[in-house]
Amino acid sequence: MFEMILYSLFAGITIFIGGVLGSILEKYSTRTIEAYILHWTVAFGGGLLVAAVAFVLVPSAVEVLSIPTFSTIFLAGAFVFFLIDKAIETKGGLLAQTMAMLMDFIPEAIALGALFVKNHKLGILLAFFIGLQNLPESFNAYFDLRKSNHSSGKILMIFLGIGCVGVICALIGKDLLAEHVKLTDSIMLFAAGGILYLIFQDIAPQSKIRNHWEPALGASLGFLVGMIGTKIFG
């Protein structure tokens, strides 16, 4: 129990750390450096998200669910994220990174608690993925929220609260979902469908800088980090 709480806290606290790094960069860097780092971290976070989809969120569901079932759940996730994204865009929001972070973090944190009961090593791998994903996602989400006129202090308090919610989600997963493999896999698969939509609709386009090609390498680096984590803990 203590180890699961510790790992879920690590996975969540990186949300706050990413926000702190964003606030520091905002104060002490030029706009050019800020834009360059933002594009790099967007690409890196996108690569990690693809790795999470490929190595953690999808494989088990494909194994245990039928083709019609996992197809329906995956497409439902993509469609729900599409509707949310469209609603935010209609209101003039700039919350793609924030939405990706939340919709990824919450189901994965629930799954983390369930997985720790069944497969300790896979639980550690998932905590590793969540923590690494949350860092660049929250870093970029910080600037999303700043553009929406939220104060720096308010954003950091929100991020700290979200990080603590991860521990609660993990405990829920441990107590309620540990014996329900298909339900846990369905939650992760639903998130995977939505995350993949967000990657290609909002996140990947933001990683491109005119007349610069190297930030896109961040996506490959992020995916490589995911592969290394899978090799070590998988």
pLDDT at 179: 77
Q: Check residues 117 and 110 and name the one with the higher pLDDT.
A: 110
**Stronger pLDDT, 140 or 62, i.e. the higher one:** 62
Give the whole-angstrom CA distance, residue 151 versus residue 153.
6
Out of 43-47, 59-63, 164-168, pick the least confident: 43-47
Binned at pLDDT 50, 70 and 90, residue 112 comes out as confident
Look up residue 55 and give its two tokens.
């190595």
| Radius of gyration, alpha carbons of the chain | 17
Concatenated DSSP letters of 194-227: HHHHHIIIIIHHHT-BTTB-GGGHHHHHHHHHHH
The pTM of the full predicted model, rounded to 2 decimals, is: 0.77
Q: How confident is the model at residue 95 (pLDDT cuts 50, 70, 90)?
A: low
**In the structure encoding, which two tokens stand for residue 117, read together?**
């009961």
Give the separation between CA 29 and CA 24, rounded to whole angstroms.
8
Tell me: pLDDT of 187 over 90: no
